[in-house]
């Protein structure tokens, strides 16, 4: 009985250490998988040109080294923040809160709140009518929602929203909205019409900004189906893609 209690206390005091160990282990596994995946893709896309393959491998090795250095830097920063090496409940709670805040503001946690939903769809009825009326001058691209329409619309109102998602794809600073052929890609995931843009924020303010949006007016004038509705309990998923940077680095002597 006493041994069980002692083991429980030991695990409680060292739970942060175990968490860190697990993080570093997963980071190492992620690096290995990342390098292997990119190496396979490099071999496929190199078209059997040895020099291209060597260049890709060298680049991957350099990027792997950078990732390893980042892990070392994190270890150093951790040691500086807790030089005694003693993990107290207070210190553990502080680190947990910092991690939770970072995940929240970077979009890595699900969120809920009031806001609006903008639903955009292709103008299929208009396309059919135009094709029947004048087939020679019918251009199908004039009757569908493009990636640029989504981007321009978000550019007009995103600054008023605290969280955004398109068809359950959370939008963060590094999100991309692009077109591959006739398919729209959001966060490397294919999305199809109708496109639901969910924005958490003041419904009245968001609606007001939308009504003044040049892109919204443009789409309305093209008779593109647009529906706007309010919600008191929007549920937005967490961002699950990769978050990485190549050029921006923490400033020297910066402290969190």
Say which CATH superfamily domain 111-236 falls into: Protein of unknown function DUF881 (3.30.70.1880)
Residue 153 CB-density burial (10 A; 0-12 exposed, 13-18 middle, 19+ buried): buried
CB under 8 Å to 103, separation ≥6 — which residues? 109
Q: Which of 112, 110, 125, 114 is nearest to 229 (CA)?
A: 114
- pLDDT for position 162: 95
**For the chain, what are the domain ranges?**
2-105, 111-236
- pLDDT for position 46: 46
For residue 240, report the phi and psi dihedrals to the nearest 5 degrees.
Answer: -115, 5
- Tell me if residue 188 falls in helix, strand or coil: coil
**Below-50 pLDDT ranges, the chain:** 1-13, 18, 22, 33, 35, 37-40, 42, 44, 46
- pLDDT for position 16: 52
- pLDDT for position 40: 47
Distance CA 107, CA 110 (A): 7
Q: What is the pTM of this model?
A: 0.65
Distance CA 200, CA 118 (A): 12
- pLDDT for position 164: 97
- pLDDT for position 3: 44
| Alpha-carbon distances, residue 13 vs 38, 41, 56, 99, 216 (angstroms) | 40, 44, 45, 19, 56
């Amino acid at each position: 009985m006493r041994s069980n209690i002692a083991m429980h206390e030991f695990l409680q005091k060292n739970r942060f250490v175990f968490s860190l160990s697990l993080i570093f282990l997963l980071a190492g596994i992620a690096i290995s998988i990342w390098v292997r995946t990119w190496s396979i893709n490099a071999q496929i896309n190199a078209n059997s040109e040895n020099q291209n393959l060597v260049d890709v491998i060298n680049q991957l090795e350099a990027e792997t080294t950078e990732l390893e250095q980042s892990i070392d830097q994190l270890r150093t920063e951790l040691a500086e923040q807790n030089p005694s090496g003693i993990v107290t409940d207070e210190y553990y709670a502080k680190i947990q809160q910092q991690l939770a805040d970072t995940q929240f503001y970077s979009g890595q946690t699900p969120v809920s709140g009031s806001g609006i939903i903008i639903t955009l769809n292709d103008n299929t009825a208009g396309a059919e009518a135009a094709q029947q009326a004048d087939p020679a001058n019918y251009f199908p691209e004039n009757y569908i929602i493009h990636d640029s329409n989504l981007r321009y619309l978000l550019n007009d109102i995103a600054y008023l929203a605290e969280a955004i998602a398109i068809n359950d794809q959370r939008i963060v600073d590094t999100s991309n909205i692009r077109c591959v052929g006739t398919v729209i890609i959001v966060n490397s995931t294919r999305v199809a019409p109708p496109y639901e843009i969910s924005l958490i924020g003041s419904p009245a303010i968001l609606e007001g900004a939308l009504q003044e949006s040049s892109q919204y007016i443009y789409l309305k004038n093209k008779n593109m189906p647009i529906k706007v509705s309010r919600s008191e309990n929007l549920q937005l998923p967490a961002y699950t893609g990769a978050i990485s940077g190549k050029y921006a680095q923490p400033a020297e002597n910066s402290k969190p």
